[in-house]
């Protein structure tokens, strides 16, 4: 039996998230059905992270064990032929049987997209949070900087989490938006990016909701550190909509 590491991209709009659900369609479900048809038996696909309903991925990493002998490039073609167009296996490679996409991951990176203008482009409505209020980009960056390091992120954890610990290490966090000489964004699209060794349920969306409050001037950047210290979810901002969130990639070295 061979184990394959697969990299998957998907538009999460019409799915109930990564994890297979009793009702509704999941990314894991459609992948397992496609691979079942290929391998002739039930298979289990394990991912680096369980993205929520409506969340997208540019490069989710997963693993699957197959009894059928097949080359990685042939596996990509065969699975994609059985998947909906909103889900695509980008690559596959044979790996050691001990490989685990979640526990072996060193760094995960998420990106959140905000459309900051009076009018939302119809081509962004599925992939960005529309905010009309002009946001202070420097304040957002200053607030995001308070997240870098090893902290207890309980205040940014969503309900329903089964995490053994709420301590995580964030290696970088901030806007990656092009700006002019005055520090103003050159376009309506703002992209917040955060990397770390792991993320709690709804953590990135709760962080973004809080940073938007900072950007609106409702609270100062230092407030983010106060929220962290509180370990109290009620102290943080709202949960940003799922549609703006993308899993960008997972590193294993």
Q: Which residues are identified as catalytic?
A: 52
What DSSP string runs through the chain? Answer: -EEEEEEEEE-GGGSS-SS--SSS--HHHHHHHHHHHHHTS----EES--PPTT-EEEEEEEEEEESS---HHHHHHHHHTTS-TTEEEEEEEEE-TT--TTTT--EEEEEEEEEESSS--TTTTTTSEEE-SPP-HHHHHHHHHTT-EEEE-GGGPPTT---S--EEEEEEEEE---B-TTS-BSSSEEEEEEEES---TTHHHHHHHHHHHHHTTSS-TTHHHHHHHHT-GGGS-PPPPGGGEEEEEEE--
């Amino acid at each position: 039996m061979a184990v394959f590491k697969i990299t998957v991209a998907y538009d999460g709009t019409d799915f109930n998230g990564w994890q297979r659900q009793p009702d509704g369609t999941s990314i894991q479900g459609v992948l397992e059905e496609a691979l079942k048809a290929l391998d002739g038996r039930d298979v289990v696909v394990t991912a680096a992270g369980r993205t929520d309903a409506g969340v997208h991925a540019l490069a989710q990493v997963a693993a699957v064990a197959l009894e059928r002998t097949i080359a990685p490039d042939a596996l990509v073609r065969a699975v994609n032929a059985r998947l909906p167009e909103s889900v695509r296996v980008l690559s596959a490679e044979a790996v050691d049987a001990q490989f685990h996409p979640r526990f072996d991951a060193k760094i995960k990176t998420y990106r959140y997209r905000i459309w900051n203008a009076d009018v939302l482009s119809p081509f962004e409505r599925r992939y960005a949070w529309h905010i009309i209020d002009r946001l202070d980009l420097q304040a957002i960056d200053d607030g995001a900087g308070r997240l870098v390091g090893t902290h207890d992120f309980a205040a940014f954890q969503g309900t329903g989490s089964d995490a053994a610990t709420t301590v995580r290490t964030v290696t970088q966090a901030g806007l990656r938006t092009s700006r002019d000489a005055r520090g103003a964004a050159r376009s309506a699209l703002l992209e917040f990016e955060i990397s770390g060794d792991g993320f709690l349920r709804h953590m990135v969306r709760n962080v973004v909701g809080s940073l938007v409050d900072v950007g609106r001037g409702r609270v100062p950047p230092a407030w983010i550190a106060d929220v962290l210290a509180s370990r109290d979810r009620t102290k943080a901002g709202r949960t940003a909509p799922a549609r703006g969130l993308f899993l960008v990639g997972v590193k294993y070295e």
